[in-house]
């Protein structure tokens, strides 16, 4: 593991740069509402654009990485993700904005299956190491509102090309990680290689995937609208929205690291199911509680939803040991992308009623995730 630490550190930093662009989409929503007058449904369509193509192509990239090692995808997909967000504010028209955000979503989709395969090979199955890799993504999410808000507040949406800077850094970090990996980490099994003792547990994988879908709907729904909802709950403006997004993503970073430590002691399945149970009252607080205490419920919600995050990736890989790339693409990307598909429904309901009413159904979804995960088997770590 000591040999692999530099590789995991570089991969984690690169992961932060990629997932910055997932967080950037949500961070742009308040500015699209304010500067272009988008309604909730139109704004949620932007989130959908980032998710829809990603949902379609993610399994394809996962299947490809099961057959061939494609490490070059890491720096290239990072650059594509950054280019999409960089172009998102250039045109005032809705269609080009959708296309640019969709391009960024394709870059994010291409990155995750191969990066998870590389990280798993470098970590040698360590929950803690995979937690640090996943932490990078959470940090990128958390940094997005802090970087996007001042850039767009000062320069307007036309300043979006400045947001390509993290992609340049991320591509360099990914390339460095791949070089370090070749030098320091003993390669794992080649893509497509089958272990005679390996057996896929499709039933458990499907149940796990369903739980992740419900989790994703909650998280993507909240991250898409929490910047606007913060003003209603706390009386603040765009600054309150940026603070809320930062709290949401930072709590997720804490939860990710905590998840790895807890799983080492108590087991992955037990920790995942318990976290979903804890998410129910936390989400209820976000939807219903006003005032300064609201930020505390935001932090609790993000921690409860992210404690299972890296654990679900390794569980999925262990449930599908002959298709690690596909498992990574589904658990780390596809199910998250599906969460974005639900956001237009939330937006449409918010336009017809209120944002609080539209977010209320999210309280029930962690219950469904708990029901799906509480009886899952604990697979042996490969």
For the cut 80, the answer to whether the pLDDT of residue 53 exceeds it is no
Do 379 and 315 meet the contact criterion of CB atoms below 8 Å apart?
Answer: yes
What burial class does residue 353 get, using C-beta atoms within 10 Å of its C-beta: 0-12 exposed, 13-18 middle, 19+ buried?
exposed
Do 359 and 287 meet the contact criterion of CB atoms below 8 Å apart?
Answer: yes
Domain 5-373: homologous superfamily in CATH = MFS general substrate transporter like domains (1.20.1250.20)
Enumerate the domain spans of the chain. Answer: 5-373
pLDDT-wise least confident of 82-91, 269-278, 330-339, 371-380: 330-339
Do 4 and 129 meet the contact criterion of CB atoms below 8 Å apart?
Answer: yes
Do 196 and 358 meet the contact criterion of CB atoms below 8 Å apart?
Answer: no
For range 169-198, the mean pLDDT: 66
Tell me the per-residue pLDDT of 90-103, one tens digit each, with 9 for 90 and over: 888 888 988 899 89
Helix extents (H) in 156-201: 165-184
Tell me the per-residue pLDDT of 194-244, one tens digit each, with 9 for 90 and over: 444 568 899 999 999 999 999 989 988 888 888 888 888 887 766 788 888
Q: For residues 367 and 382, what is the distance between their CA atoms, to the nearest angstrom?
A: 30
């Amino acid at each position: 593991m000591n040999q692999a630490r530099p590789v995991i550190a570089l991969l984690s930093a690169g992961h932060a740069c990629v997932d910055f662009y997932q967080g950037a989409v949500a961070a742009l929503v308040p500015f699209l509402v304010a500067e272009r007058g988008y309604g909730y449904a139109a704004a949620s369509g932007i989130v959908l654009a980032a998710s829809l193509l990603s949902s379609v192509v993610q399994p394809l990239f996962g299947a490809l990485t099961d057959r061939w090692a494609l490490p070059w995808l890491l720096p290239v997909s990072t650059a594509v993700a950054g280019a999409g967000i960089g172009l998102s504010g250039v045109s005032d028209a809705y269609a080009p904005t959708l296309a640019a955000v969709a391009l960024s979503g394709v870059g994010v989709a291409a990155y995750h299956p191969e990066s998870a395969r590389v990280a798993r090979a470098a970590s040698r199955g360590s929950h803690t190491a995979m937690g640090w890799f996943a932490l990078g993504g959470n940090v990128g999410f958390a940094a997005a509102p802090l970087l996007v808000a001042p850039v767009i507040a000062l320069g307007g949406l036309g300043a979006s090309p400045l947001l390509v800077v993290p992609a340049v850094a991320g591509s360099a970090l990914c390339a460095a990680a791949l070089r370090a990996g070749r030098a320091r980490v003993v390669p794992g099994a080649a893509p497509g290689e089958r272990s005679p003792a390996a057996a896929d547990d499709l039933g458990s994988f499907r149940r796990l995937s369903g739980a992740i879908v419900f989790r994703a709907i909650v998280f993507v729904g909240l991250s898409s609208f929490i910047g606007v909802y913060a003003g209603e709950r706390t009386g603040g403006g765009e600054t309150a929205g940026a603070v809320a997004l930062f709290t949401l993503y930072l709590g997720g970073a804490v939860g990710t690291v905590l998840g790895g430590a807890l799983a080492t002691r108590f087991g992955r399945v037990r920790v995942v199911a318990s976290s979903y149970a804890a998410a129910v009252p936390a989400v209820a607080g976000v939807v219903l509680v006003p005032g300064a205490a609201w930020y505390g419920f935001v932090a609790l919600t993000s921690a409860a939803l992210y404690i299972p995050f890296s654990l679900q990736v390794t569980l999925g890989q262990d449930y599908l040991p002959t298709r690690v790339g596909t498992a990574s693409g589904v658990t780390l990307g596809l199910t998250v992308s599906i969460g974005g598909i639900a956001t237009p429904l939330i937006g449409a309901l918010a336009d017809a009623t209120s944002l609080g009413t539209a977010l209320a159904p999210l309280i029930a979804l962690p219950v469904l995730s708990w029901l799906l995960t509480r009886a899952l088997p604990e697979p042996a770590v490969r």
